Structure 1
């Protein structure tokens, strides 16, 4: 009997893998039309898919077609296929996901969320979706954070304990630990943060040939969880313990040195290793983290016995950083006409690129769900404010790829709540020939994506990625803008 059950389980798992592969193959098959097809080609593909659904035998086939229709921008047809699939599979993943989105995430209190979670487990128990446990971990992490914010640490810990995917659970543990830490509950926060740190270290220390995408994702959180946990040790003046963790981390993941720099500095100071601490601050300052300047100057004075020579030293660090940025932006240089656009801003007014001729324009493509985009906004705000009196410079924040139907309200709420003085444009106007939004016309493959356009309407620089370093962003934007003001030399 056990052998029969095992065979059935293995057969099911293999069938699931094969179904997912077939789904991916089908999406890849139509990718050229999705990305570069004409309206006629996209319409034709839509008709083919709508005809096919009559023969579908599994929910996965429906999901694949729904994803393709979503990528084609066929929202009405997508909704129609979703309705058919939900009716055919009332206890399937589509109805489950709709419940999570519409009931769980829209609950106004953590008690309502807890009830929704219990209802979720009754109708769509995780044991029926063994390949999708991450979906349940997202819910558990959100629920745990809700209880942590309510000051109910026992409930938060309980729901964290129900998470199943070890590679991802640090993403639930870390925010809860930080919430408890900010509330002064160090005793409860410490083991939570240590769990997140240990999980990340486990994946980080795997041999390279065993590091899959999950392991790489998990290891990325090491610096954050390490810093949070070691900061507790530093606050408790356990500097040697802190240094042990940090120096072990730097051997295993030297690329995360920047993320650990401040807590390393504090630990070194606590053990009297001031010269090493000074060297760390010097590196941070030379990378544009000017917030450390007071500590740097104080250490300079202690180590040298006077402030003589400090100003020259400081200036040389800034000059080195500026030169580094200038060398870096050469890699971003390009020269081609920018696609023209006419889009609506938050007030419903039309803004076109043509109307801004004679100005250097900074386009920042972003979305509310994009954490790297949002992470760079304090720096972009500072950069914009530094050019507030320059009438020849215009910042535009191109909101694109939003996922919710009420995205306009969400965007306005986000900008207002965070008091960002940005000129935001909605990139939601599809080209009648290609069906593309402006991000696609600019060649954007991922966000954040920034374009620096000169006074003649030519793209001079294109950059991706982000940093939370406000001072670095200010300097980088200054170099990009000032370079774009100058005539193109080829």
Structure 2
């Protein structure tokens, strides 16, 4: 049975982002005024004054403006000028920090980080310090983890200007630590749970009731996610009976609540199921196993657990095949219902683009086929993470002349040739993808096809039926390759029958 570790570190990072954001409030407000000004002459006049200013803050504002609108030439020019005139200024420091962020070797990164801090003890690196603490937690290096956690705690405050409680900081690191040293993660989770229990017992602060409710909801989410992870850590250290008692009690309490948050309850259900299985309570686990199988929220090995649960309930294996067949039918019915909820019908905007070899591909020429559009970019981590599953989908339909996959490289960044980069990436990774280039318009800095299809983030996958109607529009990716391929195949088959 797959165990899903829920990351509370990301929730703690929200506090870091809030703290760092306060340092740039003035510049952001000035930038907003520039971006929202409709008078182009006034904007150009302001930019010229900013570029000629003798203060780095003004030049940085111009730099931020050009960066926001995608004027790479101006960005590079100003970057060079600012660093030259202010070698010890903000941008020079940011460049050094960014270079350190790109280092993949943790020991080298640590050495460069410490060198930077010796020269710039007040450098705005709270986020980076926390990231370093998480990286060392994942390695099980407790001294380094603690050192960076202490540094982070000394530099960053919450939204009220208060120091962040160390129990909260360390609990945020525990999910990373539990994979390398679960026995060390257990007390961090326990301390964190104590801290959040006390925090949730106090009235929430905030200017309005909506703000107070949002903050309380976030606090509750953090608490229950932490609790689910705590249970997993206990299981990892062999304390399986204790883990089951804890999660069963909290789950029972939550079942009595009328307005329980679904995502929170599901995280507890997952931990509860894992605890039941660890304690070999297969009969008690059977209803949860059945639901997980039908809703495809489980990993490999669930069939074996279902068999054990069936035997525990019925006393023998007799009738198991009929039982498993009924579950498979229920699973297919559920998948069909879920698919129908996602189905849409919108006219697909026509387009023509060149592939990485310069050949023109027109959507209009593909009428009669199901077309799968995958919007991606070489800089997009989630896009690339989805590609092994997409290759499996391409392989599945490689002999089907009525299905065509088009991978649209969009929103390019950097100074290199995006076509060369996209082609190289696909070849180097042995993907048999047909890649089209949705290049940015120099005048608008937008990728026309992505804009036409209303793409808000990548990866985005759009399935078009043989009549030119968009049937599905999905974003993000599933880390479960088999599930991702199965869902995409179901969408393709639905589009075929439209």
Query: Which bin holds the TM-score, normalised by the shorter protein?
Result: 0.7 to 0.9
* Structure 1 equivalent of residue 341 of structure 2: 328
Equivalent of 1:113 in 109, 113, 119: 109
Instruction: Provide the residue aligned with 1:5 in structure 2.
Output: none
How far apart are residue 99 of structure 1 and its match? 0.5
Q: Matches of 1:447 and 1:394 in 2, distance apart?
A: 20
Ranges in structure 2 where 5+ consecutive residues have no aligned partner: 1-19, 157-163, 255-259
The CA deviation string for residues 321-351 of structure 1, in whole angstroms up to 9 with x for no partner, is 2232232123xx1322324132444xx4546
Cα deviation code 1:67-122 (max 9, x no counterpart): 332232210012222333334544333222210122x1344643332232123223
Counterpart for residue 310 of structure 1: 323
CA displacement, residues 251-290 of structure 1 (integer Å, 9 cap, x when unaligned) = 4754134445443212123456544422222222122246
After the TM superposition, which of the residue ranges 69-78 and 54-63 deviates more from structure 2? 54-63
- Map 1:324-473 → 2, pairs under 5 A: 324-330=337-343, 333-345=344-356, 348=357, 350=359, 352-354=361-363, 356-367=366-377, 370=380, 372-373=382-383, 376-405=386-415, 421-427=432-438, 429-431=439-441, 434-437=444-447, 438-473=449-484
Instruction: Indicate conservation of the 8 Å contact 1:173/1:193, yes or no.
Output: no
Aligned positions of 1:87-486 closer than 5 A:
87-102=84-99, 104-107=100-103, 109-126=105-122, 129=124, 136-144=125-133, 147=136, 152-164=141-153, 165=156, 173=173, 176-178=176-178, 181-182=179-180, 185-191=181-187, 207=204, 209-210=210-211, 226-243=227-244, 245-246=246-247, 251=254, 254-271=262-279, 273-289=281-297, 291=300, 292-305=302-315, 306-308=317-319, 309-330=322-343, 333-345=344-356, 348=357, 350=359, 352-354=361-363, 356-367=366-377, 370=380, 372-373=382-383, 376-405=386-415, 421-427=432-438, 429-431=439-441, 434-437=444-447, 438-486=449-497
| SS of aligned partner of 2:233 | helix
Cα separation, partners in 2 of 1:176 and 1:460, compared to 1, 3 Å:
closer
CA contact (8 A) 1:400 1:439 kept: yes
Query: In the TM superposition, what is the alpha-carbon distance from 1:293 to its structure 2 partner?
Result: 2.6
Render the CA deviation track for 1:146-185: whole Å, top value 9, x for unaligned. 556776442233223322355995797256415xx34xx3
Cα contact 1:73–1:435 (8 A) shared by 2: yes
Q: TM-score, normalised by structure 2?
A: 0.73
Q: Deviations over 1:263-320 (max 9, x none)?
A: 3212123456544422222222122246323312331232123342313421332233
Greater length-normalized contact order (CA 8 Å, ≥ 6 residues apart): 2
Residue 33 of structure 2: aligned partner: 26
In structure 1, how many angstroms separate the alpha carbons of the residues matched to 2:245 and 2:58?
Answer: 52
Cα deviation for residue 389 of structure 1 reads 2.7
In the alignment, the residues of structure 1 paired with residue 428 and residue 194 of structure 2 have an alpha-carbon distance, to the nearest angstrom, of 36
Cα 1:414–1:358 change in 2 (3 A) is same
CA shift digits 1:385-426 (9 cap, x unpaired): 332332221223333335444595876787678765544444
CA contact (8 A) 1:361 1:454 kept: yes
Q: Secondary structure at the match of 1:467?
A: coil
State whether residues 243 and 268 of structure 1, in contact with CA within 8 Å, keep that contact through their aligned partners in structure 2.
yes
Q: How many residues are treated as equivalent by the alignment?
A: 448
Most deviating of 473-482 and 417-426: 417-426
Give me the whole-angstrom Cα distance separating, in 1, the residues matched to 2:318 and 2:441.
Answer: 61
